[in-house]
Structure 1
Amino acid sequence: MALSVETPTPPSLADNVDPNEYDDAEVVGDTDYRRKELGELLQDGAWADAFELWVSDTSLTEDEWRIVLDIELLSQFDFFWDDFADRVGYHAPGLPEDWKERDIHPDINSWKTISSINAGLTELGQLTCEVLKDEYITWESEYEAPEDLPDFS
């Protein structure tokens, strides 16, 4: 079932966050996270392209999408370059396990809603990374493997 909604503004990427602080991301070694460049690519169409693909296949309902917008979850997305892995990494926002105690939104009334929103945003984040890497990024990884690695060929 496709979600019929307008493409939201791409998230702004903050330079002051270390991706290793996220529970769902790990970046090896020192790296330039290239958030400025990624932010420009998101603005130049990568976000819109990824969002268009995502809405055509997401299982998120319009009510769940309204919750995402109401509590501004999209602004909490983060995308960063992982030079070691030659990939775009991401952190997807999500709703916490203690949603009942925190009274986050009046329309959140079940674990199904929480699970659906969290899974949908994870899928959007992953799809955005794929679109960025496959269709927008033109740079090459600067990581060079040490010369003393064993040859397994």
Structure 2
Amino acid sequence: MSLDVSVPDPPPQSQGAPGRGYDNVSPPESDDDDYRRDELESILEAGAWADGFEAWAAETSLGESEFELLVRHGLLEQLDFYWDPATEAVEYHLPQFSDDMREALATDADVDEVKGGLDSLGRTVSERLEREYRT
């Protein structure tokens, strides 16, 4: 199944740090660590986001209505990509679903499916970023 939608703008990366605003993630011990967000934001804007998004859209099981919920609730804009100096890899964090978002989905299974779709997008784009970043 594929999702036939326009590629949205890449999420901004120049603010924030891993763990800010996310459950189950410890904030970094120091804001001095180099998460290279500005560099990753440039790579996203140069095509890694569009390439990753298109690859994800061709394979996702999410429908247009679920995708529109992600857009309407600003969840794509909140995807957080960063360079993890400990693992020397591009990592990502998913935003939390608001109560409104959860209520817009009919069941917990729907919430899990949409979270899974968003996670798949994050993973696909981070893999693209990593390939671009390492070359």
Query: Structure 2 length normalisation: TM-score?
Result: 0.85
Which residue identity is paired with 1:137? Answer: Y
Q: What is the distance in 2 between the residues matched to 1:50 and 1:104? A: 24
Number of aligned residues: 132
Bigger relative contact order, structure 1 or 2 (CA pairs below 8 A, ≥6 apart): 2
Residue number in structure 2 paired with 1:114? 111
Q: Check whether the contact 1:67–1:105 (CA below 8 A) recurs between aligned residues.
A: no
Q: Structure 1 regions of 5+ residues with no counterpart?
A: 140-153
Distance across 1 between alignment mates of 2:74 and 2:19? 23
The CA distance in 1 between the partners of 2:90 and 2:126, in whole Å, is: 5
Code of the aligned partner of 2:18: P
Cα distance in 1, alignment partners of residues 121 and 110 from structure 2: 16
User: Counterparts of 2:61 and 2:101 in 1: how far apart (Å)?
Assistant: 22
In structure 1, the partner of 2:124 is 127
Which among 51, 55, 58 is matched to residue 57 of structure 2? 55
Q: Which residue of 1 aligns with 2:71?
A: 69
Q: Which has the higher helix share?
A: 2
Equivalent position of 2:90 in the other structure:
88
Please identify the structure whose Cα radius of gyration is greater: 1
Distance 1:124 1:24 in 2: 20
Evaluate the alpha carbon distance shift between residue 132 and residue 41 of structure 1 in structure 2; reply closer, same or farther with a 3 A threshold: same
Question: What is the alpha-carbon root mean square deviation over aligned residues?
Answer: 2.3
Q: Deviation at 1:111?
A: 1.5
C-alpha displacement at 1:18, in angstroms?
2.9
Share of identical aligned residues, percent?
36
In structure 1, C-alpha distance between the alignment counterparts of 2:23 and 2:105, rounded to whole Å: 24
The normalised TM-score by structure 1 is 0.76
